[in-house]
Structure 1
Amino acid sequence: MVPVKHIENITASSDEALLKQYQSNGDQQLLAALYLRYTDLVYGTALKYLSSPDAAKDAVMDIYQELVNKLQTHSVDRFKSWLYVVTKNHCLMQLRKYKKAPPIAFQQEFMQSEDFSHLDDILEKEKELQKLEDCIKALNPEQKNSIQLFYLQGKCYNEIVAITGHDWNKVRSLVQNGRRNLKNCMDSHE
């Protein structure tokens, strides 16, 4: 926990004092306190350049990350002015990236097709899923439970042991035998 006196020192310190302390010891609480003083400036500048509230919010976060590295190597006399320039440059770089690869507007007339072959793939996958579901239902209850926990819920063997109360080797056997039985069942339905 941060001592109250430390917080009071941070809020009462000048920009230059906080900056020097951060540069000497790398304490990110100092940088955060300094940056929070100017987040409105950063957001407003980013909004002016990027014209999007979401992009401006992203810029506020990105610029903080830039500061973590830049302030360790840069000599800064007036933090507020320097931060404004960093913000402006960040936004200009974002706009350059945007110009190089502008978003392409969705044009529905180019997406329409008379070819419905993709629907056949969807129907085939639905049939396969239905077969798999039927095969899972056909497993004995212990294998079914173990398969569902392992594959559908993403549980590891140790978690399944804790849930079912079976020993580790039994769980492993249930999962392996259940998988083999599922494969055999799926193959027999073809």
Structure 2
Amino acid sequence: MFRLKKNLESKKDQQLLQEYMEQGDLDVLGELFGRYMHLVFGVALKYFGNRELAKDAVSQIFERLITEIPKFEIQNFKSWLFVVTKNFCLMEIRKEKAHRNRFEKFSTNQNMESSELLHPIDEAPDSSLEDNLKHCIERLKLEQKQCVVLFYYQEKGYKEIAEELELVEKKVKSYIQNGKRNLKICLEQLESKHEV
């Protein structure tokens, strides 16, 4: 086993790439990827600004290579991997932005006091907030719950929601506004429980 490892280390990138393409051996891919793992981590860290997210990106990109490599004619593995990493990071950031936009969308459509605009559902979510939000959404009255879910999670506008639920638009706005108020109260109660 040690000899195999040594054997892999002495090979050039292109040889390892060829070997992986022919045999699909993950040890070979691991050796090749290992040479540039620091590069992948560095690029991901630059884009995400977070060590944990960058570490996750390294493993996700490795998994992606297993299926992606056979689809391409790769002349220079290092350059190709750099582009794959950059694209992966940009896609993740784009997904996160879309996720955040649905939380921000509401504030641009409402004439509410500024304190209401800083509602947790409008902020970029972290996982504990997401869990608490889901818990609180479940506790809303049916109409408020339906409107909030359609607006924030399915990104539908007032008009679409009104048509879907057979309500007037004014009612939809009211349900979302009251739903947000109730969510805020519920989230504050959950937080105060955790602080005790």
TM-score range, shorter chain: 0.5 to 0.7
Q: Give 2:16's match in structure 1, choosing from 15, 18, 29.
A: 18
**Separation of aligned partners in 1, 2:22 and 2:125:** 47
Task: Name structure 2 gaps, 5 residues minimum.
Answer: 101-123, 134-180, 190-196
Cα deviation for residue 6 of structure 1 reads 1.3
Cα deviation for residue 13 of structure 1 reads 0.5
Q: Give 1:69's match in structure 2, choosing from 58, 67, 88.
A: 67
Cα deviation for residue 32 of structure 1 reads 0.3
Q: TM-score, normalised by structure 2?
A: 0.53
What residue in structure 2 maps to residue 129 of structure 1? none
What residue in structure 2 maps to residue 30 of structure 1? 28
Count, aligned residues: 111
Cα deviation for residue 104 of structure 1 reads 3.7
**Separation of aligned partners in 1, 2:81 and 2:41:** 12
Query: Are 1:111 and 2:184 counterparts?
Result: yes
Q: What is the aligned-residue identity percentage?
A: 37
- After TM superposition, the runs of 4+ consecutive aligned structure 1 residues lying more than 2 A away are 103-107, 109-113
**Separation of aligned partners in 1, 2:43 and 2:85:** 7
For residues 93-104 of structure 1, the aligned pairs below 5 Å read 93-102=91-100, 103-104=124-125
What residue in structure 2 maps to residue 8 of structure 1? 6
Q: TM-score, normalised by structure 1?
A: 0.54
Does the residue aligned with 1:75 lie in a helix, a strand or coil?
coil
Deviations 1:115-158 (A, max 9, x none): x9xxxxxxxxxxxxxxxxxxxxxxxxxxxxxxxxxxxxxxxxxx
Q: Give 2:79's match in structure 1, choosing from 66, 78, 81.
A: 81
**Separation of aligned partners in 1, 2:18 and 2:45:** 29
Deviations 1:75-104 (A, max 9, x none): 100000000000000000000000100224
What residue in structure 1 maps to residue 47 of structure 2? 49
What residue in structure 1 maps to residue 171 of structure 2? none
Does the residue aligned with 1:77 lie in a helix, a strand or coil?
coil
**Separation of aligned partners in 1, 2:83 and 2:64:** 13
Task: Name structure 1 gaps, 5 residues minimum.
Answer: 117-190
Quick one: which amino acid aligns to residue 111 of structure 1? K
Cα deviation for residue 7 of structure 1 reads 1.2
Quick one: which amino acid aligns to residue 49 of structure 1? Y
Cα deviation for residue 50 of structure 1 reads 1.0
